[in-house]
Amino acid sequence: MTGLDYLWQALTPLNVLLALAGVVAGTVIGSLPGLTATMAVAVLVPITFSMEPASALILMGAIYTGAIYGGAYAAILLNTPGTPSAIATTFDGYPMAKRGDGDLAITLACVSSVVGGLIGAAFLLGLAPPLAEVALAFGPVEYFWLAVFGLTLISALSEGNLLKGLIGACFGLLLACIGVAEISADIRFTFGSQVLLGGIETVSALIGLYCIPVMIDLVATPDRHLKVTQQPRGFRLKEALAISWLGKFNLIRSSVIGTLVGILPGAGGSIAGLVAYSEARRSSKRSAFFGKGEPEGVQATESANNATVGGGFIPTLVLGIPGTPPDAVILGALLIQGVRTGPSLFTENGAIVYTFIYGLILATVLMLPAGLVIGRYAYKSIITVPKAILVPTVAFMTMIGTYAIRNSISDVVIMIVLGVVGWFLNRFGFSPSPIVLGLILGRIAEQGFVQAWTIGAATEDLTGMFFGRPISLVIILFTLISLFYPLIRKHWATTGGTANAG
Amino acid sequence: MQVESKSRSDLAGTVTAVVFILMACLALWDTTSMTDSDSYVFPRAIAAAMIVFCILLIAYNFIKRPADEAAGGTGSASTPRRVGLVAAMLGASLVMPWVGFLLSGFCAFGAIMLFAMYDPWTGRRRIVFPVAGLAIVLGFYTLFSKVLLVPLPVGVWFR
């Protein structure tokens, strides 16, 4: 069979319908704070058991890609990442919505997600086997350095107050240590409390730190939640496409970053979005506007997190190692169907794999109309619903969404308490983003550090372990560039300015 | 205006830094009960770094006396409504094991609706808003408990 045959197989009416239904269901589930892409896929997996493997994969891939995009709605309109992948979308998406450009931000997120999804799928289609080797080349120390690289974003997120950003990150890192230690299984920082034994759940912490402060301020004044313009402006697709065209390098770079991070097992869309955001900010001429409603920021995060879908499938299908948590659920569903993943999958079961990849491309393309329509509806709902309905609805959604993650009332209480703490800290100049960054990257950093330390100590080569591996050195180099680039740029600007003046 | 704000010290930031130092000391003390070095190396390093950063911030605030950008008065914002929102959410979460998710959800929704209401309660709003709230809570409850099969607490009083 040729590639065209697989394409036709993916385009059967049933597969097109499944792709569309999956994208819509995923987008709606992903837009609800607390419901992650993993949950969206897990909840809908039983439906796929009676389907052909290729159709089942298309449905699951469509749900996954839709859920990752859906997370942008809450991030842009409510400052609450619907999924952890959309954390960095809040940085510029919410300020855009606040100034009356929420519709543009949503359309831009949709276009960027489609571009990111297509680039990720293209990598999956053309370069899956060689790229899967990258996943194997990443050891604990590389994960540690990747987490450190992610933490350098603190300098970007704590504009004007780096010390407060660093303190916030330390607070987040300590929060990540609460509960049972992953490697030694010691119980840490619970102070005898059963409630804290399970640790701080990342998504509930995200909801608390981002959404509760917004609601506390929302309820305190009669002002509208978002600025509303009187004239209807439609989807603002033309404007979004023009911005996307201008930011095409940003889109491509962020999508490639998303794909590569997606390949790394356990890294996920949140890290992809943060790394892409960091890079977009570093290389942009408008870096000063990042965090204040810069469309390039939305472009970077949304293209990167959707590119992780294709990227994550690379080690899942080629090596049987799930790249992201939803991939692990999909892998389980495939095994139930009798499909064995591995290097031979592309040759022995080419019909299934290639039909699925074309199906994923189809689902990503269908995300454009579906996402635009759902996004428009979400935006209109948020700006027209009276505050007396909006605030309790969002509050109720945060409670039920947080509860659903681990079926735990303690998580709901922790979410609210963290929200109040976040509100106070925000007022005192401590932004929530470094705390969240520390919370997410803390576990990866600690696990990588301890494992690398143990291996290095056992082989009596700690220096070589941490500073002698080529991939580690590349990440360290990027970390240093990311940290010192603002200073270097400032120096260049000053010396250039002096030279010009001279 | 700018001159005024520049002369203000970041007292809130300094106090928060002191609280964070105490928190880090508590974390360091807790690590003394851990026997495995894998458990305490990382949190100890972070707690120590946190103390250093906090001391630097306090010192910086004493020397530079910078403007506190984020802190500010509540202005015309209503503190009782803020407290009410948090109390309603926390209260609903705490009584959930006894009264169940649905009833605590209704109560929280109603209370928060009252706190978030700034428009006059016209006859239409008195009917439409509570009915809308009822529908929203019931809708989400059904979606999560029946469609997504999340075992929402029923409440010991209703078993």
Q: Where are the alpha helices (DSSP H) in A32-86?
A: 37-48, 53-78
Instruction: For residues B51 and B84, state if they share a domain.
Output: no
Residue A181 contacts B where some CB pair is shorter than 8 Å: yes
Task: Give A393's contacts in chain B (Cβ within 8 Å).
Answer: 109, 136
The pLDDT value given to residue A232: 61
Task: Give A435's contacts in chain B (Cβ within 8 Å).
Answer: none
Instruction: For residues B96 and B129, state if they share a domain.
Output: yes
B112 is a domain residue: yes
- Length of chain A, please? 502
Q: Mind telling me how many Å the CA of A127 is from chain B's nearest CA?
A: 36
Residue A89: count of CB within 10 angstroms of its CB? 30
DSSP three-state, residue A264 = coil
Compare CB distances from B117 to A181, A388, A426 and report the shortest one's residue: A388
Tokens encoding A230? 């009187």
B72 is a domain residue: no
A382: phi then psi, degrees, rounded to nearest 5: -65, -40
DSSP three-state, residue A180 = strand
Task: Give A33's contacts in chain B (Cβ within 8 Å).
Answer: none
Is B13–A183 a contact, with Cβ atoms under 8 angstroms apart? no
**Partners of A187 in beta bridges:** A180
- Distance between CA atoms of residues A109 and B53, nearest Å: 36
At position A261, the amino acid (one-letter code) is V
**Shortest CA distance from B74: residue in chain A:** A220
Residue of A219, A421, A433, A446 to mutate, interface with B, max B Cβ within 10 Å: A219
- Length of chain B, please? 159
The pLDDT value given to residue B133: 93
The pLDDT value given to residue A171: 94
The pLDDT value given to residue A279: 86
The pLDDT value given to residue A120: 92
Residue-range domain boundaries for chain A: 3-493
Residue A452: count of CB within 10 angstroms of its CB? 22
Q: Mind telling me how many Å the CA of A497 is from chain B's nearest CA?
A: 27
Give the torsion through C-alpha atoms of B13, B15, B21, B27, to 10 deg: -100
Residue A381 contacts B where some CB pair is shorter than 8 Å: no
> Could you say which residues from 211 to 270 on chain A have a Cβ atom under 8 Å away from some Cβ of chain B?
212, 215-222
Instruction: For residues B54 and B83, state if they share a domain.
Output: no
Residue with tokens 């469509």: A62
DSSP three-state, residue B19 = helix
Pick from A1, A71, A27, A22: nearest CA to A349: A1
Residue A501 contacts B where some CB pair is shorter than 8 Å: no
Query: What's the gap between Cα B158 and its chain centre?
Result: 30
- Distance between CA atoms of residues A32 and A17, nearest Å: 23
Is B129–A389 a contact, with Cβ atoms under 8 angstroms apart? yes
- Distance between CA atoms of residues A483 and A202, nearest Å: 26
Residue B6: pLDDT band (50, 70, 90) is very low
Instruction: For residues B89 and B152, state if they share a domain.
Output: yes
B71 is a domain residue: no
Compare CB distances from B42 to A212, A217, A450 and report the shortest one's residue: A450
B98 is a domain residue: yes
Count of pairs with CB atoms under 8 A, one residue in A, one in B: 207
Compare CB distances from B38 to A183, A392, A427 and report the shortest one's residue: A183
The predicted model gives B1-25 an average pLDDT of 75
Instruction: For residues B94 and B127, state if they share a domain.
Output: yes
Each residue of A377-415: b (16+ CB within 10 Å) or e?
ebbeebbeebbbbbbbbbbbbbbbbbbbbeebbbbbbbb
Task: Give B149's contacts in chain A (Cβ within 8 Å).
Answer: 43
Task: Give B15's contacts in chain A (Cβ within 8 Å).
Answer: 428
Is A404–B150 a contact, with Cβ atoms under 8 angstroms apart? yes
> Could you say which residues from 406 to 425 on chain A have a Cβ atom under 8 Å away from some Cβ of chain B?
407, 409, 412-413, 416-417, 419-420, 425
Residue of B98, B148, B149, B152 to mutate, interface with A, max A Cβ within 10 Å: B148
Pick from A168, A186, A49: nearest CA to A428: A168
Residue of B30, B37, B53, B127 to mutate, interface with A, max A Cβ within 10 Å: B53
B85 is a domain residue: yes
What is the total count of domains within chain B? 2
B70 is a domain residue: no
The predicted model gives B17-22 an average pLDDT of 95
Tokens encoding A489? 């740029």
Helix, strand, coil % over all residues of chain B, rounded to 5: 75, 0, 25
Q: Mind telling me how many Å the CA of A162 is from chain B's nearest CA?
A: 10
Tokens encoding B111? 């209370």
**Residue B67 near residue B84, CB atoms below 8 Å:** no
Report whether pLDDT(B110) > 80: yes
Is A397–B140 a contact, with Cβ atoms under 8 angstroms apart? yes
Q: Mind telling me how many Å the CA of A427 is from chain B's nearest CA?
A: 4
Pick from A271, A341, A272, A274: nearest CA to A313: A341
Give the domain extent around B154: 79-158
Task: Give B41's contacts in chain A (Cβ within 8 Å).
Answer: 449-450, 453
What is chain A's pLDDT, residue by residue, as a tens digit (502 residues)? 566 777 787 788 888 999 999 999 888 888 877 677 777 787 777 777 778 888 888 888 898 889 888 888 888 988 887 677 888 898 899 999 888 888 899 999 999 999 999 999 998 888 776 776 777 777 888 888 888 887 877 766 666 678 888 899 999 999 999 988 877 788 888 888 888 888 888 888 888 888 899 889 889 888 877 766 656 677 788 888 999 999 899 999 999 999 988 887 766 677 888 889 988 888 888 888 888 889 999 999 999 989 988 888 888 888 777 777 788 888 887 777 777 777 677 777 777 888 888 888 999 999 999 988 988 888 888 778 888 998 999 899 889 988 888 888 999 999 999 999 999 998 888 888 888 888 888 888 888 888 888 888 888 888 888 888 888 898 888 888 777 766 676 677 677 655 554 4
> Could you say which residues from 33 to 52 on chain A have a Cβ atom under 8 Å away from some Cβ of chain B?
35, 39, 43
Is B35–A430 a contact, with Cβ atoms under 8 angstroms apart? no
B11 is a domain residue: yes
| Boundary (domain end) residue, out of B31, B64, B97 | B64
Instruction: For residues B115 and B85, state if they share a domain.
Output: yes
Task: Give B86's contacts in chain A (Cβ within 8 Å).
Answer: 212, 216, 416, 419-420
DSSP three-state, residue A338 = coil
Report whether pLDDT(B75) > 60: no
Is B53–A167 a contact, with Cβ atoms under 8 angstroms apart? yes
B74 is a domain residue: no
Pick from A209, A173, A172, A235: nearest CA to A370: A235
Query: What's the gap between Cα A494 and its chain centre?
Result: 36
Compare CB distances from B109 to A161, A392, A430 and report the shortest one's residue: A392
Residue of B15, B81, B107, B113 to mutate, interface with A, max A Cβ within 10 Å: B113
- Distance between CA atoms of residues B53 and A168, nearest Å: 10
pLDDT digits (tens, 9 = 90+) for B34-66: 888 888 888 999 999 999 999 999 998 888 755
Q: Give the ipTM.
A: 0.89
